[in-house]
Structure 1
């Protein structure tokens, strides 16, 4: 049977109705004890550990039950279970026999438990009382007189810790009993600096609980203010954490070391700066605190102030000689961190103090890069103050632009435009464009290699994110859509976004783009829009090479089986020939072949005499409805079609786009634009 929860005398269990036990309350103690099982179902130690005490305060650093005295003698053998003579014989109680447990208190204050076995019989057991260390109980109750008497008893050992390593002195510091502390130290002064199992002295406990009288008493009696806990935190550090200037002043007056570091390398000054407590910071500085002590990550107090946006503490540190441009272990400066965390006021103050905006971190990024990248994180958009945070980010960029060298930006190998476009920071992108940042700046080779597609321009990031507004801004500002290895128009075609494709083509994107790593005999742009016939026709109208789609090395001869091709970049074969993929191979793939007829039909409008290869004819023969398409490809092609191709070639793509402005008959314009099927020509 599991250890039962025991209610303290004078309390009522939430699940217990006292009226249910009126039968037992009328019995005398002797009768109850005769009925009760002489042995508790649960081990006495487990019962005591689960005891609820209304007098015991709880603390994360302090166990709930602390005063249980260890047994003074080994446990004696328990007598065998006996049954009341008036009742049938009872069996030994086993955990599996018990169905439920309840607790109650008799009229005489005796604590009992009642449980029902699975056979339906009710059993009653006496719950043994807990034993408390008398001196610990007296300290808890603030009974100074009892403490005086107990310390004089011959058997009283003030140095004997309990299971948690706490001695009476620690208890007195925890409960703020300064008079008890004086009595205990008078009786045993050598225990003043003894630690608990968590390596806490009585002074540390008093600081954590903010008991000033106890602190003063301990310090007067010679407590060492520099003994640290398991995290190497001193009492002074904890006092700064509590933001209690009185405690800080008291510890400093008793010689506490002001520059001692915790396990993370933080000093008391780090902690006070982080909390923007200028009063305590000034006290520490007057006591000799150093403003340039780094923690384990190379972070100095001024870096902490900038990181957390504490302008008052930052101003105070600078007045006391802090290095404005000091760097952390990762090369970041105070300005860098203020920009990263969006602290507009801090950035403004640092720039007014001539902070270096051209000092990069180890990643090579400048403060303006990090502001463009982190100025409006996605988590900010989930808050009601997102508009304010966006405005704040743009304000930071506006302040950094005049302080940032464009030459230094260029040497970094990445433009803030790239980062703004990557994170969809349209407002920041607009600011940077207006400030004259190069919209055609490309990533350095090292940074470009970080991406599998080897992207290099801000325009590519905008198109990849399908951000039409950013794409429009960049193109209007003069972005070249043909600088990337993988042309942005191919990305837009793969996404099937006609608006982005139109924008790119109108600004000169190459409709005959190829992929260097995947050679084909026809433009890759055709391959990416085979499922979108509208896009395919749009590309053809703008000069895409349709004739190359019908150039097949096998012609009318039988084609070999299509092999699964590996990516040449990752193929581990010794010799891989980068053979060009043909149009008939791509159109024969399982997910495209169902549209083979309409695709060929569109392409035939933009070619003259062509000869379909055996594989294309095979596709057209697979559906009866596609026979008319096959007939269209039979030579000779109509003279009208050949004339149209000739005129389109002479005019060129740019003139064809403006043909509606020329004095040409409307019917001729429709004919040149392949719209003659909609009318009688």
Structure 2
């Protein structure tokens, strides 16, 4: 059973927590109500809100919409717009003075102030009335004093509709006439706030009743409901064509707007009712009136894709260049909605296809954004300007590439100026790569867009890592196919401040790492903003020894990892925060200038808690790529921390094996890329290339 939330005026917070509602699934509504009353009386420790919270745990408070249609006020719809969950009775003019008593219960009330058996008089009651509905649809009402104490709870009394209104909704014309003749009947007085008999007749389409009442009281014809709606607007809303005709014949004003500034004509266009539109236009209604959002009837007809109504409106004087409060014209609306027929109709009648909305977007931009291929094709056939940027500076081609519509991209490429693209500070390649639109990426590359185009500094600053190339986007998305496509087209992997190779190593994707290295990625590149004494890419690959080894195999510097300014002497404490690192760089008593100039050392990086557990294997791999080196005191501390790593210390102790020194000398003289050409046995070639074990797949 679902929980309920009953509004109340108590100030205290609810006590206790919600219970398991399945415990009460076998109880009837009356039993649940009885249980709720008993709990509300016994939970004195949270008396201000106990009834509300306990009823909430045992009833379903789904405030149902009235069974009558929208705009028809009754006691549930609350035509005055007030919250029916917390009504003050003094505002209600139709609440009964003496409602029927609720079902009697046999509960034993331990409270000295039990709920009354009969409901208080709502006109004189000083407190809050809360209305809610049980899971079975029973409407309930609770009376509560300002201090939160429950006074009465029970089924909400039924309220009979006034006889005149009941006769109107049933279409009983003779009964309506008879009631109108009774003394005291005044058709100008509302039964509910702002709701007259004429509104009731218009809503239910009782045109004969409308005719009878207007003959007796013509002054009610333009009276408005609490929402500002006339009988004519209500009849249009419900598509009551006969009522519309009768009202217009009796002189109803078709230009009176509701509180949303909607006219009957606007509502007829919204309802897509051409017959009603024609009838209103024949009575001289204004065709260019704006609603509260600035939209005109023509704009609404375009949104409904009704060319027939559009044609009637234009013939009646509707202007197709008017915009709403967002600067959106009917042409823009048609393009945005993908309504081809209205757009073709508007263009044929001279509408400006290149007008821009408040955010700078054109109809072409919006069609490309929403993937409407037929709209884009039509606009381009009419020479729409494809080089007008939106507020963000992007062109239609940019947004099409971002959304991944390759067909639209192909249509826009020939009409888009590459000079204008460069002026935007971002290439459509960037946006295609960012969203992994590989087919769009391929089309743009074939069209000759520069794969090495870099974003402007302003756009690059919007990314924390200051990325600048399309290749970077493909790498960080782990899009191996996109990376391969860009590299084969000539993308330079070394243009970004934070190199794509470092990103690939951090993502542990060796396929991307291999692609980047094969296409010239600089393994030994530094990070300008975070200087290190060793290749920066090692910081991101130490946890992945296969990648780490691959980088060393292909030219990664290893000797610099053993170059420590402290040597065998004591090292200062590890600085983990930025302020501590700054203090180390600029105020440490040990070689402050050298430390600041050199940056972070390898022994400091490997001492990070997330990496130090792999210190032994990392040092072991590095030793295969160096000759005589000396381990600093910090590296020795790591090797001493685990007994199995003692063999690594022995490996580093001089002298190094002659075989290892020969390998290093051959690689130095011949070069890594020429080793395969040497007239040596395959096993020797593999030894020289450090290929003792296969690489893992990412």
Which interval holds the TM-score relative to the shorter structure?
0.7 to 0.9
- Asked if 1:187 is matched to 2:205, the reply is no
Q: What is the rounded CA distance, in whole Å, between the counterparts of 1:569 and 1:278 in structure 2?
A: 70
How far the C-alpha of 1:623 sits from its partner, in A, is 2.4
Which of 666, 677, 681 aligns to 1:647? It is: 666
Distance 2:216 2:299 in 1: 39
CA distance in 1, matches of 2:284, 2:69: 29
- Does the 8 Å contact 1:207/1:238 carry over to 2? yes
CA shift in 2, pair 1:187/1:67, >3 Å = farther
In the TM superposition, what whole-angstrom CA distance separates every residue of 1:151-185 from its partner, at most 9, and x where no partner exists?
Answer: 33331111111223111111111111112112211
Corresponding position of 1:465: 477
Query: Is 1:274 matched with 2:303?
Result: yes
- Contact 2:73 / 2:195 at 8 angstroms: preserved in 1? no
Q: What is the alpha-carbon distance in structure 2 between the residues aligned to residue 280 and residue 433 of structure 1? A: 46
Aligned to 2:610: 591
Identify the match of residue 628 of structure 1 among 647, 653, 663.
647
TM-score, normalised with respect to structure 1: 0.78
Measured after TM superposition, the shift of residue 676 of structure 1 is 7.4
Q: 1:201 aligns with which of 230, 240, 263?
A: 230
Q: TM-score, normalised by structure 2?
A: 0.77
| Contact 1:550–1:611 (8 Å) recurs in 2 | yes
SS in 1 for 2:468: coil
> 2:165 maps to which residue?
136
Q: What does residue 495 of structure 1 align with?
A: 507
In structure 2, C-alpha distance between the alignment counterparts of 1:342 and 1:128, rounded to whole Å: 55
SS in 2 for 1:210: coil
Partner Cα distance (2:628, 2:422) in 1: 52
Task: Indicate conservation of the 8 Å contact 2:533/2:598, yes or no.
Answer: no
CA RMSD, Structure 1 to Structure 2 (Å): 3.6
**How big is the shift at 1:201?**
0.4
Which of 288, 296, 299 is residue 328 of structure 2 equivalent to?
A: 299
Once the 2 structures are TM-superposed, how far is the Cα of residue 339 of structure 1 from its aligned partner?
0.3
Q: Answer whether contact 2:387 2:420 (CA < 8 A) is retained.
A: yes
Measure the CA separation in 2 of the matches of 1:252 and 1:340.
36
Query: Is the alpha carbon distance of 1:185 and 1:96 closer, same or farther for their aligned partners in structure 2, counting shifts above 3 Å?
Result: closer
| 1:57/1:64 contact within 8 Å kept | no
2: distance between equivalents of 1:403 and 1:433?
16
Alignment of 1:395 onto 2:424: no
Match of 2:626 in 1: 607
Distance 1:570 1:467, change over 3 A: farther
1:616 aligned residue: 635
Determine the C-alpha separation between the residues in 2 that align with 1:526 and 1:455: 20
Distance verdict in 2 for CA 1:57–1:545, change over 3 Å: closer
1:483 equivalent in structure 2: 495
Contact 1:66 1:164 (8 Å CA) reproduced: no
Q: Does 1:283 align with 2:322?
A: no
| Cα distance, 1:66–1:510 mapped onto 2, change above 3 Å | closer
For 2:155 and 2:564, how far apart are their aligned partners in 1? Answer: 98
**1:145 paired residue number:** 174
**1:67, 1:137 within 8 Å by CA — same for their partners in 2?**
no
**CA contact 2:386–2:395 (8 Å) conserved in 1:** yes
Give the match's secondary structure for 2:537: helix
How far apart, in 1, do the equivalents of 2:417 and 2:160 lie?
76
Aligned to 2:56: none
User: Structure 1 residue 61 and structure 2 residue 80: aligned?
Assistant: no
Question: Which residue in 2 is equivalent to 1:211?
Answer: 240
Give yes or no for the alignment of 1:671 onto 2:695: no
Give runs of ≥4 in structure 1 deviating > 6 Å. Answer: 70-74, 76-79, 125-129, 567-571, 573-576
Structure 1 residue aligned with 2:276, among 217, 234, 247?
A: 247
**Alpha-carbon distance between aligned partners in 2 of 1:326 and 1:65, rounded to the nearest angstrom:** 48
Aligned equivalents of 2:436, 2:650: Cα separation in 1? 50
Moved more, 142-151 or 407-416: 142-151
Taking the aligned partners of 1:64 and 1:211, their CA distance within structure 2 comes to 21
What SS does structure 1 have at the residue aligned with 2:671? helix
C-alpha distance in structure 2 between counterparts of 1:73 and 1:398, whole Å = 67
Equivalents in 1 of 2:390, 2:94: separation in Å? Answer: 65
Query: Residue 223 of structure 1: SS of its match in structure 2?
Result: coil
Check the 8 A contact 2:73/2:192 in 1, yes or no: no
Whether the 8 Å contact between 1:66 and 1:162 is mirrored in structure 2 is no
Distance 1:650 1:218, change over 3 A: same
For 2:482 and 2:416, the matched residues in 1 are separated by 23
Partner of 2:45: none
What secondary structure is seen at the aligned counterpart in 2 of 1:629? helix
Q: How does 1:89-488 map to 2 (within 5 A)?
A: 95=115, 131-375=160-404, 393-488=405-500
Q: Deviation of residue 96 (structure 1)?
A: 8.6
Q: Partner of 1:524: helix, strand, or coil?
A: coil
User: Could you report, residue by residue, the CA deviation over 1:20-69 in whole angstroms, capped at 9, with x for unpaired residues?
Assistant: xxxxxxxxxxxxxxxxxxxxxxxxxxxxxx9x9xxx9610221356999x
Counterparts of 1:561-580 in structure 2 under 5 Å? 561-566=573-578, 580=599
Is this contact kept in 2: 1:426–1:470, CA < 8 A?
Answer: yes
CA shift for structure 1 position 588? 1.4
Report the CA distance between 1:196 and its aligned residue. 0.7
Question: What is the CA distance between 1:403 and its match in structure 2?
Answer: 1.1
> What is the aligned residue count?
575
Q: 1:67 to 1:238 in 2, by over 3 A?
A: closer
Output the CA distance in 2 between the equivalents of 1:126 and 1:639.
Answer: 99
Which stretch has the larger CA shift, 457-466 or 393-402? 393-402
SS of the equivalent of 2:578 reads coil
Which region of structure 1 is more displaced relative to structure 2, 416-425 or 524-533?
A: 524-533
- The 5-angstrom pairing of residues 533-548 of structure 1 reads 533-548=545-560
Q: What are the Cα deviations for residues 73-130 of structure 1, in whole angstroms up to 9, with x where unaligned?
A: 9958999xx9xxxxxxxxx9965989xxx9xxxxxxxxxxxxxxxxxxxxxx999985
Report deviation, 1:263: 0.7
1:330-369: per-residue Cα shift (whole Å, max 9, x none)? 0000000000000010011111000111111121101010
Deviation at 1:635, TM superposition (A): 2.3
Contact 2:321–2:329 at 8 Å: present in 1 too?
A: yes
Q: Conserved in 1, the CA contact under 8 Å of 2:353 and 2:384?
A: yes
Q: Distance in 1 between matches of 2:471 and 2:258?
A: 55
After superposition, the C-alpha distances for 1:506-558 in whole angstroms (9 at most, x for unaligned) are: 11101112111111111111121111111111111111110000010000111
